[in-house]
Structure 1
Amino acid sequence: MQTQGYRGDVLFENLELIRTVQAAGGRQIRADGVYVRRLPPTLGHFADQRVRQAYDSQTQPARLAVELLLLPLILVLVRRPAACAALAATAVLLAEAGRRRAGGTQVFDTWTALWAPLWLLERAVTSWIALAWRCAGGVPYSGRRLRTAASSPAALRRQLSHLNLGEPK
């Protein structure tokens, strides 16, 4: 259901809210150095969320393209151990750079970046499963299927143009 912009029937509610506020002329202020402690879910709950997390990327075309390219890339490189090692090392280095940003070293253990290659492999597979779910009518969620991950910024701007309070920052 959609009323004046924000849709509650999307999967990626956080992005939907940010995009709706921006489309109405508001702005997002990020607090990159603020960390909220989260307790890990059970393994079963975590596994259940993996494809839904990948489904969120369908509202971010560039990210989705990269994630969908991962599986073919890995399949091509699997016979080239040095290339696989280079891809894994690159993933670890990028994850470590992210960990060091905005005080992250105070919150995340030094070994956490080492999980990046496994996450890449997981996302390489789950992105394709999420795409298949989209083709089948949407991702299963709470007993129904959600087709939309989030509204596009352009669609929200068109819909909310009458509310625009200024140019988004």
Structure 2
Amino acid sequence: DGTKIFIASADKQVRVWDLASNQMVVVGTHDEPVRKCHWIKAPNYSCLMTGSWDKTLRFWDMRQLPTQTSLATVQLGERVYCSDVLFPMSIVGLANRRMKIYRLDNEPSEVKDIETPLKYQSRCASIFKDKTTGLPTGYALGSIEGRVAIQYVEAANPKDNFTFKCHRSPELINGFQEIYAV
């Protein structure tokens, strides 16, 4: 609703900053630094999803504050590098170049676990919708190599999935091309 800011932190804590009262409260704690946080607004529930280098996704009920007990914890097997949520879908990019895709209808359920087509570390991810149905249908994944992958969860044609180079200098500088992380 625009009245709160959620903060993922390297000190292993997740915080919420209430802009109206200017108060900051700890929502919960992970065992390692927290990399990502996303607000989930579903028809039948709302919660905060956090991804950490402790190899877990956690879901926090803001109505339970200051209890700091997660509603659910999902073991991932590797550190979280990137993630996105667009209800009813969530994606999580891991340190081992795996992407996990979840449905968030009731409780989180894994739909797919796939290797990314990118050769280097994932840095950012964004879910996109189908233009006719308005439902989440795939995602864009950026890497430190300056390359982006467009992936569909259920591609009608495998050629719909593709990668492309971006964020590169147009000319060679001292015989090298400068590449910027996405």
- TM-score by structure 1 length? 0.23
Considering Cα pairs closer than 8 Å and 6+ residues apart, tell me whether 1 or 2 has the greater RCO: 1
Q: Which has the higher strand share?
A: 2
